[in-house]
Structure 1
Amino acid sequence: MWYNDLRPDSELVNDKYSLIMLERDDNYSRMLDDDAKKRTISNLLKLRQGLFENIPKKTVDSNLLLCSWNIKNFGTLKDRTAESLFYIAEIINAFDIVAIQEINRDLSDFKKVMKVLGSHWKYTISDVTEGNSGNDERFGFIYDSRRVTHSGLSGEIVIAPESVADDAILKQLKRTPTFTGFESGWQNFSIVSVHLQPGKTDANKAIRKEEVRLLMDVLNTKLASAAFHNRNMIILGDTNLYANDDDIVDLITQHDFVESDALAGQFTNTSLNQIYDRLFLNVDPYFKIATDDFGNEQGGVFNLFDYIYLNSPTEIATYHQLMLLHKDDPSNLIDDASFTSYYNSYWKRNQMSDHLPIWLELQTESSDEFLRWELGKF
């Protein structure tokens, strides 16, 4: 991580050229004053402690930490502070591969985060899905090149026109999923990142179900034609699946995709009442999710709001002036109650996201499993 922007000006006499958080539209002035620097440093220490307590350590040649995170309108929301970009980078830094949904056309904030992460962090990114239904969104994978390699496989899932009926409710998925390959240790695998149709109405559910049906038809074809060692596939992302969407989940699991026990049923939105973000695996027997000493799969949801942007009067008060500055019409921010409501409903979600990161720890050293599997063939 590159924390140079958090240093006092007195330490940067000869290093100002290396600053990242600069206001391009204000003669490249610094985005962080001294109060913001102190607050960011203090909160980073709390966030790092939370990541240390909840996310496994990266170990050489034995594990891989996979994360999926919908970062709300990443590029469209123009009032994200440099402070928040540091927190986003710190969370990404705790993992090895992070699949990100809702990256928008403007990549200014995305590039700032990449610079904070450091030069060993690389990324692949798709173009935006054009049209109103695409919502100006693209998909990205950010990965630690010291621990994982991009296999060279990268593309988008496009539905062949001849496979769709003339009267179908849609011809393509609303937001074109990405299909990307990675290698780490023993493991070769591909990841499909999705952002499915939201909404609880019957019409929205019908679209979401058709999106999954079309997607699974394409993926089954790919799995059937893939070389043996490339058949490990993971579907992840913001699925927008609701409690009554079991029939849609069945469209995935009936094709040998399994949801990790570590993530099944866990709330993944900021309000902690929906299981939007999911992860399904269709993998070989020696492709393993790491387990703890009791045999439980290692994975979960990281609630970043337990460590930053806390829902406390003291914490909220520190952001009063920024909320007044950034809100289009601040006239209704008149008392503590109105500030608290806006802070929890909009401010902290626009600074970070309305989704929480989900993660799994994968085992990348599978010699024993592989040898036992091969022995069983004789």
Structure 2
Amino acid sequence: MPKHFSPAEWQTINTHLDQNPTAYGMPERRDDSVILASWNIRKFGTLADEDGPRKSPGAFAMIERFCSACDLVAIQEVQPNTASLYELRDRLNAAGGTFDVIYSDITGRAPGQMGMAERSGFLFNTARVRRGDLASDLSFDRSAVVKNMNKALAESIAKELPPSDDPTFMEKVQHWLSGATQMAGARLKKFVQFIRAPHLVEFVIEGPGGDYQLYCVNAHLVSGDSKRERQQEFFALLEWLLLDSESTVAEDGKIFLLMADLNLDFESSVDKRKRGVEAYLTDLNSERNLRAKVNFPFLDGGFLTNARRDETYDHIAWIAQDERLPRGRHNALAGTLGANQFDYGMFDFTQLFVDAGPAQGQGTDPDYSKFEHDFSDHMPIWVRLPIPSNGQHRFTVD
């Protein structure tokens, strides 16, 4: 059973947070704006097993405290057992909320087989956010998968096998084929299909000046040691959304809102990641003359979103053609336009736990073992948008 804070330590943490919640990035609920959040809550599934509660009471209460300030939360790592998700909804509603949930089928494994099985979940405040008509996984059809597989197979053969007139050709063919069961993983160095299918749900936020029609994409992309595989999934997802944006965004007026743990670790710094994304977008735009604009604000804000604060894994980003949503050049205006206008942030619970005292380790690093399993190993991130109104700020480009 993982270590966790004692009830007395959780009380100390909450008392410290009460003194200045915004200092740690805890969002504040306000009447004329909504909070849209994304959070990988580590192994958010069964409430208890033979070893006791999966989340300690204090950890679950802190999860509830954060979510109570939000209107829409995309949750990654919802487990096949959804008891914790429903318990979270029920606790929020018992406290006077009007929340509901929707989640995907199990993804990441085939039925009856081992794999990274989990669901993508949404928790939403029905007083502020209405479900739309669309809910679907994002997946490639069989012909596309076969085409991707054949292309990857041909490239793998070309790189790993010698010419057919090489005397060692047959020996190397036999060796290569002996690893056939691994071809979709380590042997094939090209994107074939998402390991865990992203989940898209339409939500609508209405106000006196119109509405936001959001196509929210909840994604938990592949993790592990292969940075190449992480890149492939990320750019495959981004290309999917960008190419579909011609009809969905430019013609239908929807907003793609990506709310995800992207495991975005394919360069050594946030600046390099940002330049890599910008170069990709520029190239694709020049090829297709796309009209929708893309904004990844958490690449601008200097946020390190894992609990150990050394990676920017988690993102809320949008693909839109809507002047009510900022472009990348406007991100510096976050929090300066008024209490209910555009802002974004991260609940830095690691700093909270250290400042309050219970997470202070023996050396310079916090004692991560006391919270990254019981609570989470990812920080929740959030974006504030005004309720649609005629007087809200418009992000125009001269």
Aligned counterpart, 2:314? 277
Which whole-Å CA distance do the structure 2 matches of 1:358 and 1:176 have between them? 21
Which whole-Å CA distance do the structure 2 matches of 1:372 and 1:270 have between them? 33
Task: Summarize the alignment of residues 217-296 of structure 1 with structure 2, pairs less than 5 Å apart.
Answer: 217-226=239-248, 228-242=251-265, 243-244=267-268, 246=273, 249-250=277-278, 253-254=281-282, 256-260=293-297, 264-288=301-325, 291-293=334-336
Give the letter aligned to residue 233 of structure 1: F
Aligned counterpart, 1:126? 104
Which whole-Å CA distance do the structure 1 matches of 2:263 and 2:129 have between them? 29
| Match 1:179 to one of 200, 210, 214 | 200
Q: 1:146 to 1:251 in 2, by over 3 A?
A: farther
SS of residue paired to 1:257 = strand
| Match 1:192 to one of 205, 213, 217 | 217
Alpha-carbon offset, residue 273 of structure 1:
1.1
Alpha-carbon offset, residue 280 of structure 1:
1.8
Moved more, 74-83 or 152-161: 74-83
Give the letter aligned to residue 41 of structure 2: I
SS of residue paired to 1:351 = coil
SS of residue paired to 2:371 = helix
1:6-53 Cα deviation digits (max 9, x unpaired) = xxxxxxxxxxxxxxxxxxxxxxxxxxxxx84x6655544444554455
| Match 1:70 to one of 29, 33, 40 | 40
Task: Summarize the alignment of residues 203-222 of structure 1 with structure 2, pairs less than 5 Å apart.
Answer: 204-222=226-244
**Alignment root-mean-square deviation, CA:** 3.5
Alpha-carbon offset, residue 146 of structure 1:
0.9
Determine if contact 1:287/1:366 at 8 Å carries over to the other structure. Answer: no
Unaligned runs of 5+ in 2: 1-5, 153-189, 286-292, 327-332
SS of residue paired to 1:184 = strand
Aligned counterpart, 2:143? 162
SS of residue paired to 1:181 = strand
Aligned counterpart, 2:69? 94
1:127-166 Cα deviation digits (max 9, x unpaired) = 1114278511111111111111111221110112323422
Determine if contact 2:253/2:321 at 8 Å carries over to the other structure. Answer: no
Which whole-Å CA distance do the structure 2 matches of 1:252 and 1:93 have between them? 37
Give the letter aligned to residue 276 of structure 1: Y
Aligned counterpart, 1:32? none
Unaligned runs of 5+ in 1: 1-34, 318-335
Alpha-carbon offset, residue 209 of structure 1:
2.1
Alpha-carbon offset, residue 167 of structure 1:
3.5
Determine if contact 1:161/1:171 at 8 Å carries over to the other structure. Answer: no
Aligned counterpart, 1:364? 387
Which whole-Å CA distance do the structure 1 matches of 2:38 and 2:82 have between them? 19
2:134 matches 1:106 = no
Q: 1:309 to 1:113 in 2, by over 3 A?
A: farther
Which whole-Å CA distance do the structure 2 matches of 1:122 and 1:178 have between them? 17
Aligned counterpart, 1:299? 344
Q: 1:363 to 1:232 in 2, by over 3 A?
A: same
Q: 1:106 to 1:301 in 2, by over 3 A?
A: same
SS of residue paired to 2:367 = helix
Alpha-carbon offset, residue 236 of structure 1:
2.5
SS of residue paired to 2:321 = coil
Which whole-Å CA distance do the structure 2 matches of 1:134 and 1:81 have between them? 26
Alpha-carbon offset, residue 282 of structure 1:
1.3
Determine if contact 1:65/1:360 at 8 Å carries over to the other structure. Answer: yes
Aligned counterpart, 2:169? none
Alpha-carbon offset, residue 100 of structure 1:
0.7
Which whole-Å CA distance do the structure 2 matches of 1:251 and 1:134 have between them? 34
Alpha-carbon offset, residue 345 of structure 1:
3.1
Determine if contact 1:262/1:298 at 8 Å carries over to the other structure. Answer: no
Determine if contact 1:262/1:297 at 8 Å carries over to the other structure. Answer: no
Q: 1:50 to 1:150 in 2, by over 3 A?
A: farther
Which whole-Å CA distance do the structure 2 matches of 1:364 and 1:229 have between them? 20
Which whole-Å CA distance do the structure 1 matches of 2:204 and 2:116 have between them? 31
Alpha-carbon offset, residue 94 of structure 1:
1.2
Q: 1:253 to 1:235 in 2, by over 3 A?
A: farther
Q: 1:89 to 1:155 in 2, by over 3 A?
A: same
Which whole-Å CA distance do the structure 2 matches of 1:259 and 1:371 have between them? 18
Q: What is the count of residue pairs matched by the alignment? A: 313
Aligned counterpart, 1:14? none
Determine if contact 2:324/2:393 at 8 Å carries over to the other structure. Answer: no
Determine if contact 1:266/1:275 at 8 Å carries over to the other structure. Answer: yes
Aligned counterpart, 1:6? none
Which whole-Å CA distance do the structure 2 matches of 1:297 and 1:371 have between them? 10
Which whole-Å CA distance do the structure 2 matches of 1:109 and 1:56 have between them? 22
